[in-house]
Amino acid sequence: MKAESKTFHWVGAGLASVPGIKRLIAKEHTLKIWERDVSKAYLATKGLSGNFDVCAATDGAMQAAIHPGDIVISMLPTHMHTSMARLCLEKDAHFVSSSYINSEMAALNQQAKDKNLTFINEVGLDPGVDHLLAHLLMDDYRSSPYFDPHNTHDFRSYCGGFPAVANDFKYKFSWSPLGVLKALKSPAKAILEDHIVTIEKPWDAVEPYVLNLPHQTEMFQSYPNRDSLPFMQDYGFGTDWTIARFVRGTLRLDGWSDAWKSVFDTIETTDNDDKELAALSDRLWADHSYQEGEMDRVVLSVDLKVSHDGRVVWHKTKSLDSYGTAQNSAMARLVSIPVSLAAEAILKGQLNAGVQAAPNDPGMIRAWLETIAEHGDMIYHTDHCMTAKLEAAE
């Protein structure tokens, strides 16, 4: 089948989808935008012209419209991705999502390979852009003269979204708070101070984190999120490496833990009471959701520090500090633009078959980051050892 006959099916046209949808339309791709509430899709494409259609998302309509070789982009809630991926298997179509690969998605790997289909996930912001930066850091370190598995390695990857102008609550919600609340109820696992640690209550592991951002040095709070350990292999950390710290986590504005104390107290006493958690979610949404025209901010930092005999020999950070605009939120850009790039990579035949996360090829990553920068989100690179040398020479 000719590449130009393939159609992108973008499923879910909420605010987080808009920049990616607009980009694919501007690139003159054939696009079907699926929404149960078609008014969202019409709003997302208002004023645009191109080869796209807005479609009411019903199971029958989608099944009839998806053809072999098409590319389905699922921006649905996480629990709906697997059923969409199974539909792609049935229709011989490729699949894209920004969400983590869970066991159900991973189980589709061999079937996707057998059909020569690409099912790529974890290509949003976090997970997504954070993976890209981690792979670049690791490629840089491995090719440096300082590379040695027996060095002591300290890896930290933190990401967070919050209001551009801090409020007393130190946070605002773009969508239902229930996902954030459930994440806080989930244990985290990381390597801290040379040991594998399980953190039952993430808020008990909050610590200050100073970031040297392009225009300022700023204090944040950080805490581990989910299970960091599987990503050691994904990023290329060997089993024989000496690792003092390996943590992927969440970044929050300074003062967040104090502002959220009552929320933590409620979470701690809810046990598995979904109704009580849902009620808390509703209250938080009413009190702390973004208002129309209110700007957001996204900060991401991926940092690798390497020491030998107690002396730092290699230390680099890749970071971004992005703000929303009147047109799009920073979060929407940084989720949906990478998703659109992953879909295009499938169209170009750049990705292997099977279930996979964000690419690790340095050339592809740099090309993606260039496009992300063109949409206003610059990646900043800091060589701490070089900075220290320059300061010492002054």
Domain boundaries, the chain: 3-120, 129-323+377-393
pLDDT at 2: 40
Pull the structure tokens for residue 379.
């990646």
Half-sphere exposure of 42 (CA within 13 A, CB side): 5
Task: Give the Cα separation of 74 and 29 in Å (integer).
Answer: 17
For 310-340, the pLDDT digits (tens) are 999 999 999 999 999 988 999 999 999 999 9
Alpha helices in 174-253 (DSSP H): 178-184, 230-235
For position 394, what pLDDT does the model report? 46
| The pLDDT of residue 389 | 54
Those residues with Cβ within 8 angstroms of residue 155's Cβ, 6 or more apart along the chain or in another chain: 134, 235, 237, 243, 245, 246, 247, 303, 304, 305
Q: Among 69, 85, 63, which residue's Cα sits nearest to residue 355? A: 85
Would the CATH topology of 3-120 be identical to that of 129-323+377-393?
Answer: no
To which CATH superfamily is domain 129-323+377-393 assigned? Dihydrodipicolinate Reductase; domain 2 (3.30.360.10)
What per-residue confidence (pLDDT) applies to 388? 57
- In this prediction, the residues of the chain whose per-residue pLDDT falls under 70 are 1-4, 272-273, 387-394
Q: How does pLDDT run across 95-147, given as a tens digit for each residue?
A: 999 999 999 999 999 999 999 999 999 999 999 999 999 999 999 999 999 99
Architecture in CATH for domain 3-120: 3-Layer(aba) Sandwich (3.40)
C-alpha torsion sign, points 256, 257, 261, 263? positive
